[in-house]
Amino acid sequence: MTAALEPRIIAPADAAGVAETLAACARDGAAVVAYGGSTLQSIGNAPRRCDVALHTRNICGVREYDPRDMTAGIDAGTTLAEIARVLGEHGQWIPFDAPQPARATVGGTLAAGWAGPRRAVYGRPRDLVIGSTIALTDGTLARAGGMVVKNVTGYDMSKLYVGSLGTLGLIVRANFKALPRPPVRRLAIAPIAGDQRDRAIASLGGLAIEPTAALVLDGFTRVARYPGAALRLVMLFEGSDAVVERGTRDVRSALGKAGIAETLLLDGAPADDAFAEVIDAYVEGAGERTLTYRTTGLPSTAWARTRTAQALANEHGLSAESIADLRTGDAILRFSARSVAAFAERIAAFDADVRRAFERSTVLAGGPQLRASIDAWGTEPSTIATMRAIKAHFDPAGVLAPGRYVGAI
Amino acid sequence: MVTSLASRLLEALGPDTVRTSPEDLAAYSYDAYSEGHLPSAAVIPRDVREAALAVRIAMNCGEPVVPRGAGSGLCGGAVPARGGLVVSMVRMNRILELDVRNRRARVQPGLINLDLSRAIATHGIFYAPDPSSQKVSTIGGNVGTNAGGPHCLSYGTTTNHVLGVEYVDGEGVIHHTSIDDPGYDLTGLLVGSEGTLGLVTAVDVRLMALPESVRVGVAAFPDVESASEAVSAIIAAGIVPTALEIMDKLITSAVEAHYHAGFPLDAGAVLLVEIAGPRDDMLAGEAAIKRIAHQHGAISWRAADDAAEREALWASRKGAAGALGRIAPNYYIQDACVPRTKLPQVIHQIERIAHDHDLAVGNVFHAGDGNLHPLLCFDRRDARAARAVVEAGTEILSTCIAMGGTISGEHGIGHEKRDALSLVFNTDDLAAMGRVRDVFDPHRLFNPDKIFPTGAICGEVRAPAAVA
């Protein structure tokens, strides 16, 4: 699974240094894995080899930011927290919605293709990238897009690089369209008793003010705490004071009619922090004896998928926790066993059941021993041959994170 | 080769689907760009099976395949620049699936943009990208050029609303992509690739809830520069209207003569502003915009009182290019995008360039996005003017690049601007794009002579630039 020797750590001083490093690795046949803040390294398979760990920590900074244009060119190693700070001074933000923003880098977040619950309203990070520079294994730096918000000038290569997990090259800079940060943010947390759950979820269907995010948390009790409740509805409202006020009023009324009397409200920084903790929980706190999958699908099926997951867990003697994202259709499913050994002995059969139950499921996080025998990506997409050809054209030597990606790319 | 392609297509698909007569081929030889080229044959498939078969036959004959929607593209994207087969998608114009609850639809590429939003409006949802050509242009064509429109200021462009596509590759094999699939984002690559990577035969689109309230206002300014300054100030204040459109005096007078929507004729420029969202935000938003407009020299402000008035204003704006026929026999519309704050400078430069070439220029543009559409007026029978238009167009593009902008915001590169692409990208940049082309279309048979500069990928023949 991992290289026998410790990888050599290289942290180039600039973009040209990254390109030179990649070219040298390609020439020497040295496998190279990119590192940002290491917050999402759990995504994808462990690379088959890692001879060089290429860190972006020396390539950071928000460059070319003009608040009046609401565009910013940002170097790969810049942390999401730093971006939030610089743009926040002008009332702007880029809603990355990713775990551990103090450590997570923009390059890593893009490479991992991260997209959180807020994408229902603001789009995925991919939708806010307007240009990029990537270092390639032939030693070149290739740009795409630009610093304008509308652009049909050649192929939209940034889309290809976002989510490619360092298997095609290394994104050294990305240009973004920034957004005005909503002035008011409020988090509503409502406990749901088991017999209320379907009615409560259905009651959210007709809201005139739609929440930015609407999640059903089952378990994950360390975040969005509510005394005594394992099942909670977590709704984030963002916008003007008037809109957030009306949104929360309407949702309380709708939930009240569904038999849910109490809703905890958090405003401003406490709301931001509590929601950030929920996002962190997607990949954190998993531990050795757990496995966390993300399944994607229609929003209307997210809740049902978490019920299916519960049934699967019961069949296999595991316990399940889940987050159903009612707006994006994501369902985060975390399965745990009493011991690593107990899980490990049935991992193959269990994983096969998960893949059968859900059309699209990928492993987000989990114990290394459990992950070693399963593929993170599940069923290969029908376009896998095209993807392999893309890989071969961008990384002919096969040195970029070999084996990490879909279809053993 | 020609008869071989036509006869094989006829044999496989029949005369109702295949067109080979000279008069039919003439109709498929051009789009809204000035130059045309005759294809060897055209097909009008009814479904993906027929489309895939046609692609396979053409590719087996070594003939190019050129997808065609409404033919409203302005850069020659649908022109069969090297002959071959034109695949017209007009018969594949249905909504295949509509999922109101999850706000998504699968549509065929020949569906007209506006027909989609009209068909689903009763469900309280709409398809956001709305190019000014939306009454005729197709979803497939919009996917090809990653089309924008006035409302992409807040909603984003076509790529932000495409969840997946079905496409036919060079071997006639049908594939499906989804942005939810693990692996490389092929959907994102295909959108905006102008038919050079494959033939898109279905599109999964994201739909949005119709806003609860919409307000439209018109501010009159003494000149385009002051209107542009107001646009930057509105956005700097943290307000993102759904549209911020500027028309200069020339355009305004042309559209007023035609549409009578009530735009002020004494102004140097008018700014059309639309805000949309929850009703609670409308009054404050409108008041803030009005205040900023006045701070930047607005001489008047008029709010549209009802839906009919709003629609009249929008009809005028979207019909601006057509209305120019009242002023000049021909016009050449340019498409470029610059950082928003550079608009006043760029507009000033455009006026200078037009003046130097003794041409009348009208400016109508998506100001909020910095997306310019200068229209150069001329008479194509006047050889001097026709040359001047080409030269002025090139100078305008160079000016926009120098200001940190790019050479197409939403119309695409097509045939027209392929050589200008190397003004924006160097050989390393283009080589990366070329790798993608190599994967999808190694024989350069999908819409050849488009996007890539002459000679950038294998020895392509240079074609002369021309005007619309």
The 3-state DSSP class for residue A371 equals: helix
Per DSSP, the residues of B240-298 read --SEEEEEEHHHHHHHHHHH-----SS-SEEEEEEEEE-GGGHHHHHHHHHHHHHHTT-
Mean pLDDT of B432-454: 97
Q: Say whether residue A141 is in contact with chain B using an 8 A CB cutoff.
A: yes
Termini Cα distance of chain B: 31
* H, E, C per residue of B394-459: HHHHHHHHHCCCECCCCCCCCCCCHHHHHHHCCHHHHHHHHHHHHHHCCCCCECCCCCCCCCCCCC
Q: Say whether residue B282 is in contact with chain A using an 8 A CB cutoff.
A: no
Instruction: Read off the pLDDT of residues A110-125 as tens digits, 9 standing for 90 and up.
Output: 999 999 999 999 999 9
Under DSSP, the state recorded for A298 is -
User: Are B185 and A162 an interchain contact pair (Cβ–Cβ within 8 Å)?
Assistant: yes
Nearest to A163 among B159, B185, B426 (CB): B185
The tokens describing A78, both together, are 């810049």
Please give the interface size between A and B, counted as residue pairs whose CB atoms are below 8 Å apart: 218
Instruction: Tell me what ipTM this predicted complex has.
Output: 0.97
Cα–Cα dist B406/B338, whole Å: 6
From B169, which residue of chain A is nearest by alpha-carbon distance?
Answer: A386
What pLDDT shows up at residue A128? 98
Work out the minimum CA distance from A69 to partner chain B, whole angstroms.
6
Per DSSP, the residues of B204-246 read EEE-EEPPSEEEEEEEEESSHHHHHHHHHHHHHTT---SEEEE
Query: Residue B282 burial by CB count (10 A; 0-12/13-18/19+): exposed, middle or buried?
Result: middle
User: Are A242 and B341 an interchain contact pair (Cβ–Cβ within 8 Å)?
Assistant: no
The 3-state DSSP class for residue B156 equals: coil
Mean model confidence pLDDT for chain A:
95
Q: Which residues of B touch A386 (CB under 8 A)?
A: 169, 175, 186, 439-440
User: Are B339 and A69 an interchain contact pair (Cβ–Cβ within 8 Å)?
Assistant: yes
Q: What is the CA radius of gyration of chain A?
A: 22
Q: Say whether residue A393 is in contact with chain B using an 8 A CB cutoff.
A: yes
**Residues 211-250, chain B: which have Cβ within 8 Å of A?**
212, 232, 235-236, 238-240
Residues 6+ apart with CB under 8 A from A352: none
From B188, which residue of chain A is nearest by alpha-carbon distance?
Answer: A159
Per DSSP, the residues of B93-149 read --EEEEETTTTEEEE-TTSBHHHHHHHHGGGTEE-----TTTTT-BHHHHHHHT---
What pLDDT shows up at residue B458? 44
Q: In what order do the strands lie in the sheet with A32-35?
A: A8-10, A52-55, A32-35
What pLDDT shows up at residue A285? 77
Cα–Cα dist B408/B393, whole Å: 12
Q: Which residues of B touch A155 (CB under 8 A)?
A: 189, 192-193, 433, 436-437, 451
Going from the C-alpha of B301 to that of each of A236, B217, B262, B263, B307, the distances in angstroms are: 36, 7, 12, 10, 18
CA A264 to chain centre: 27
Under DSSP, the state recorded for B81 is B
User: Are B284 and A156 an interchain contact pair (Cβ–Cβ within 8 Å)?
Assistant: no
Q: CA torsion sign, B93 to B199 to B147 to B461?
A: negative
Q: Say whether residue B311 is in contact with chain A using an 8 A CB cutoff.
A: no
Q: Say whether residue B405 is in contact with chain A using an 8 A CB cutoff.
A: yes
Under DSSP, the state recorded for B460 is P
The 3-state DSSP class for residue B321 equals: helix
Domains of chain B, CATH where assigned? 2-88 (3.30.43.10), 95-209 (3.30.465.10), 213-322 (3.30.70.2190), 328-402 (3.30.70.2740)
User: Are B404 and A209 an interchain contact pair (Cβ–Cβ within 8 Å)?
Assistant: no
Task: For the domain made up of A290-371, give the CATH fold.
Answer: Alpha-Beta Plaits (3.30.70)
The 3-state DSSP class for residue A92 equals: strand
User: Are B428 and A155 an interchain contact pair (Cβ–Cβ within 8 Å)?
Assistant: no
Q: How confident is the model at residue B462 (pLDDT cuts 50, 70, 90)?
A: very low
The tokens describing B234, both together, are 């509105």
CA A258 to chain centre: 32
Query: Residue B358 burial by CB count (10 A; 0-12/13-18/19+): exposed, middle or buried?
Result: exposed
Q: How confident is the model at residue B324 (pLDDT cuts 50, 70, 90)?
A: confident
Specify the domain boundaries for CATH 3.30.70.3450 within chain A. Answer: 184-274
The 3-state DSSP class for residue A102 equals: coil
Q: Which helix (H) or strand (E) holds A172?
A: strand A170-177
What pLDDT shows up at residue B459? 36
Q: In what order do the strands lie in the sheet with B85-88?
A: B18-19, B41-43, B85-88, B65-68
Work out the minimum CA distance from A387 to partner chain B, whole angstroms.
6
Site of tokens 């459109």? B245
Q: Which helix (H) or strand (E) holds A95?
A: none
Q: From first to last of its 409 residues, what are the pLDDT tens digits of chain A?
A: 444 578 999 999 999 999 999 999 999 999 999 999 999 999 999 999 999 999 999 999 999 999 999 999 999 999 999 999 999 999 999 999 999 999 999 999 999 999 999 999 999 999 999 999 999 999 999 999 999 999 999 999 999 999 999 999 999 999 999 999 999 999 999 999 888 888 999 988 889 999 999 999 999 999 999 888 999 999 999 999 999 999 999 999 999 999 998 899 999 999 999 999 999 999 987 789 999 999 999 999 999 999 999 999 999 999 999 999 999 999 999 999 999 999 999 999 999 999 999 999 999 999 999 999 999 999 899 999 999 999 999 999 999 999 999 999 9
What pLDDT shows up at residue B120? 98
Q: In what order do the strands lie in the sheet with B199-206?
A: B95-99, B104-107, B199-206, B162-168, B174-176
Instruction: Read off the pLDDT of residues B386-398 as tens digits, 9 standing for 90 and up.
Output: 999 999 999 999 9
Site of tokens 């027209």? B416
From A392, which residue of chain B is nearest by alpha-carbon distance?
Answer: B439
Cα–Cα dist B131/A322, whole Å: 41
Per DSSP, the residues of B23-40 read HHHHHTS--SSS-----S
User: Are A393 and B439 an interchain contact pair (Cβ–Cβ within 8 Å)?
Assistant: yes
* One-letter identity of residue B279: R
Query: Taking a C-beta distance cutoff of 8 angstroms, is the pair B175, B167 a contact?
Result: yes
CA atoms within 13 Å, Cβ hemisphere of A42: 25
**Residues 216-255, chain A: which have Cβ within 8 Å of B?**
239-240, 242-243, 246
Please say if the pLDDT value at position B231 is more than 80: yes
Q: What is the CA radius of gyration of chain B?
A: 22
What pLDDT shows up at residue B37? 96
From B167, which residue of chain A is nearest by alpha-carbon distance?
Answer: A383
Query: Taking a C-beta distance cutoff of 8 angstroms, is the pair B45, B54 a contact?
Result: yes
Q: How confident is the model at residue B457 (pLDDT cuts 50, 70, 90)?
A: low
The 3-state DSSP class for residue A214 equals: strand
CATH of the domain spanning A1-181+379-409: 3.30.465.10
Specify the domain boundaries for CATH 3.30.70.600 within chain A. Answer: 290-371
Residues 6+ apart with CB under 8 A from A320: A218, A219, A306, A309, A310, A312, A313, A333, A334, A335, A336
The β-bridge partners of B199 are B168
Q: Which residues of B touch A394 (CB under 8 A)?
A: 432, 435
Work out the minimum CA distance from A193 to partner chain B, whole angstroms.
25
The tokens describing A174, both together, are 């990305």
Going from the C-alpha of A395 to that of each of A60, A266, B343, B444, the distances in angstroms are: 25, 48, 41, 22
CA atoms within 13 Å, Cβ hemisphere of B2: 11
The 3-state DSSP class for residue A34 equals: strand
Termini Cα distance of chain A: 15
Specify the domain boundaries for CATH 3.30.465.10 within chain A. Answer: 1-181+379-409
The tokens describing B89, both together, are 């998608």
Q: Which helix (H) or strand (E) holds B51?
A: helix B48-60
Q: How confident is the model at residue B322 (pLDDT cuts 50, 70, 90)?
A: confident
Mean model confidence pLDDT for chain B:
93
Q: Which helix (H) or strand (E) holds A77?
A: none
Nearest to A71 among B178, B339, B371 (CB): B339
**Residues 35-74, chain B: which have Cβ within 8 Å of A?**
none
Residue A55 backbone phi and psi in degrees, to 5: -100, 140
Instruction: Read off the pLDDT of residues B166-221 as tens digits, 9 standing for 90 and up.
Output: 999 999 999 999 999 999 999 999 999 999 999 999 999 999 999 999 999 999 99
Work out the minimum CA distance from A45 to partner chain B, whole angstroms.
13
Query: Taking a C-beta distance cutoff of 8 angstroms, is the pair A229, A196 a contact?
Result: no
Query: Taking a C-beta distance cutoff of 8 angstroms, is the pair B303, B351 a contact?
Result: no
Task: For the domain made up of A184-274, give the CATH fold.
Answer: Alpha-Beta Plaits (3.30.70)
Question: Beta strand pairing status for A361-366 and B18-19?
Answer: unpaired
Cα–Cα dist B42/B26, whole Å: 10
User: Are B188 and A159 an interchain contact pair (Cβ–Cβ within 8 Å)?
Assistant: yes
Largest CA distance in chain A: 67
What pLDDT shows up at residue A4? 54
Query: Taking a C-beta distance cutoff of 8 angstroms, is the pair B54, B43 a contact?
Result: yes
User: Are A386 and B186 an interchain contact pair (Cβ–Cβ within 8 Å)?
Assistant: yes
Instruction: Read off the pLDDT of residues A305-354 as tens digits, 9 standing for 90 and up.
Output: 999 999 999 999 999 999 999 999 999 999 999 999 999 999 999 999 99
Residues 6+ apart with CB under 8 A from B57: B5, B8, B9, B12, B172
